[in-house]
Amino acid sequence: MLAGILEHIAKQRETVIDLQRTLVSIPAIGPDNGGQGERVKTDAMIAWMESIGITGIREYRAPDTRVPCGHRPSVAAIIPGEDESRTFWVISHLDVVPPGDLELWTSDPFELKIEDETLVGRGVEDNHQGVVSSLLVAKAIMELGAKPPVNFGILLVADEENGSKYGLDYLLKNHKDMFGPKDLFLIPDFGVPSSEMVEIAEKSMLWLKITVIGKQCHASSPEEGVNTLVASSAMILRLTRLHDRFPAVNPLFKPSNSTFQPTKKEANVENVNTIPGRDVFYVDCRVLPQYELDDVLEAIYEMGREICSTYGVEMRYDVVQKEQAAPATPVEAEIVGRMVDAVRAVYGGNPTPKGVGGGTVGAYLRRAGFDAVVWATWVPNAHQPNERSQIKHNIGDAQVMARALFAGGS
C-alpha cells in the first residue's frame, strides 16, 4: 500500500504547480498587516478537497470584526484509518506576510512564477509547501482507495503569522475535543535544505515596542528640542548588552544562544530639517527556555531608565507578543521516531531532533500537553522577496508525511 502511495505522489508535479498557483494568487494577509484574512483562500482549499472526494470537512470560525466576513476560518478534514481512535495531523497555515518592497521582486508576488523546478511567489514556502504536501498525501489516499493505519488529518489554520490568536490557539481553547490524547502532530512550517532538522523545542519569544518621547524642533536650533532619534539609537546599542546579561548556550538550539535584535522602525518626521520628538522601534527577543521573559523585560526597563536619564527623554513599552517557551517534545516520543525514520528513508542524511528560535504553532500544542514535531525541507527564504520553493521538496515532503503516516504498515 505504501509503495503505491509513494509512487502516486512522485507523479504529482502538475498538481503541485496548480495548487501553488491557486494559493499564491490569493493574498491571505491578516488584518494586522492590512489584509482581509483567509476567507477566500479557505474556500478554495475546501473546494479542492471536496473535488477529490473528501467528506466531513469541518470549519471553525474565530470571530474577528476587522475582516469583511467577520471571522478567521480554520478548516479540518479527516480521512478515516484502520484505527479511528487516533489521527496523524498535518497542520499548515493559510495566511502569508505582505510582499514588502515590490522593487525587490523580479515578478508579481501574487502570480506564480516557474523557473525550471523552482516556484516563486509570496507564500510558496511559508506555508504553501506544507499545505500542498499534505494535500498530495490526501489525493493519493483517495484516488488509490487506500486506508492508512490511523486517521489522516489535514488542518489548515488562520493567523499563524500574527500569533495564532485566531488560529490554532483559538482551536485549542474553544474546541479541545477535536484532538485526542494519542494523536500525532506534524507542523511543516520550518526546516533546513538538508531536511535533517526535526524541531522538538522552541525558545521563548518576546516582541517589544519601544516609544521614545522627546521634543520636536527645527534642526537648526537643536538646543530647543530633545532629539529622540539620538536617544533611540543609543538605546538600540545599549540593548546589545542583553547578550551579556543572558549568556547561556544550549546545543539543542541553533543558534545556541539567546538573541536580541532591533527590527522594525516606524517613520518619525517627514522632512530633513526637523528634529524628531517621537521615535518608535521594535525588538525581537528569542530567549533560551531557562530564562524568564519577565527578567528580560526588567533588564530592558533598567537600560531604558539609564538612557532616559542621559538623554532627557521618556520611554513607553508595549508588549506585542510574549510567549514563555513550552515544554519540549521528548526525543523518545512516537512522532519524533516516526519522523526521523521517514526523513531518513526519503532524503537520507542524519535527521536529528533540534530546537529553534522561531516561534511556530507547535508551541501551542506542546503547552496543551501534545507531542509535536515541526519539520519541512526549506531553502529557507520565508518572508523574503522572491520567495522560492522547490517542486521536488513539495513532493519529497509529501512522501515523508506518507511514510510517517503508514509507519508500521505495509
Q: Are strands 278-287 and 150-157 parallel, antiparallel or unpaired?
A: unpaired
Which is nearest to 215 in space by CA: 311, 318, 316, 301?
A: 311
Residue 136 lies inside a defined structural domain of this protein: yes
Q: What nine digits make up the cell of 58?
A: 469541518
Radius of gyration for the chain, computed over Cα atoms and rounded to the nearest angstrom: 23
The answer to whether residues 13 and 91 belong to one domain is yes
Last residue of a domain, one of 273, 302, 323: 323
Last residue of a domain, one of 323, 357, 378: 323
**What's the rounded Cα separation, in Å, for the pair 98 and 385?**
10
Q: Per-residue pLDDT averaged across 183-189, rounded?
A: 97
The answer to whether residues 27 and 122 belong to one domain is yes
Domain hosting 240: range is 204-323
Residue 65 CB partners (closer than 8 Å, separation 6+) = none
The answer to whether residues 176 and 313 belong to one domain is no
Residue 309 lies inside a defined structural domain of this protein: yes
Task: Using the predicted structure, report yes or no on whether residue 205 has a pLDDT greater than 70.
Answer: yes
Q: Are strands 217-218 and 274-275 parallel, antiparallel or unpaired?
A: antiparallel
Known active-site residue 160? yes
* Model confidence pLDDT, tens digit, residues 54-108: 998 999 999 999 999 999 999 999 999 999 999 999 999 999 999 999 999 999 9
pLDDT of residue 408: 60
The answer to whether residues 47 and 175 belong to one domain is yes
What percentage of the chain reaches a pLDDT higher than 90? 94
Last residue of a domain, one of 276, 304, 323: 323
The answer to whether residues 247 and 157 belong to one domain is no
CATH number at residue 68: 3.40.630.10
Catalytic residue among 160, 189, 196, 387: 160
pLDDT of residue 410: 41
The answer to whether residues 120 and 213 belong to one domain is no
Which is nearest to 33 in space by CA: 106, 133, 89, 100?
A: 100
Average pLDDT value for the chain: 96
pLDDT of residue 359: 74
**What's the rounded Cα separation, in Å, for the pair 96 and 383?**
8
Q: Which CA distances in Å does 280 have to 222, 225, 229, 303?
A: 20, 17, 9, 16
Q: What is the DSSP string of 228-290?
A: HHHHHHHHHHHGGGHHHHS--B-TTEESSB-EEEEEEE----SSTTEE-SEEEEEEEEEE-TT
* Model confidence pLDDT, tens digit, residues 251-270: 999 899 999 999 999 999 99
The answer to whether residues 113 and 217 belong to one domain is no
Backbone φ and ψ for 243, nearest 5 degrees, come out as: -65, -30
**What's the rounded Cα separation, in Å, for the pair 74 and 190?**
20
The answer to whether residues 171 and 209 belong to one domain is no
- Give the predicted TM-score (pTM) of the model: 0.83
Domain total in the chain: 2
Residue 410 lies inside a defined structural domain of this protein: no
Residue 185 lies inside a defined structural domain of this protein: yes
Q: What nine digits make up the cell of 338?
A: 516516526
Catalytic residue among 38, 64, 95, 387: 95
The answer to whether residues 160 and 276 belong to one domain is no
pLDDT bracket for residue 400 (50, 70, 90)? very high
Residue 69 lies inside a defined structural domain of this protein: yes
Cell numbers 488560529 label which residue? 167
The answer to whether residues 354 and 395 belong to one domain is yes
Residue 294 lies inside a defined structural domain of this protein: yes
* Model confidence pLDDT, tens digit, residues 121-153: 999 999 999 999 999 999 999 999 999 999 999
* Model confidence pLDDT, tens digit, residues 144-184: 999 999 999 999 999 999 989 999 999 999 998 999 999 99
The answer to whether residues 6 and 142 belong to one domain is yes
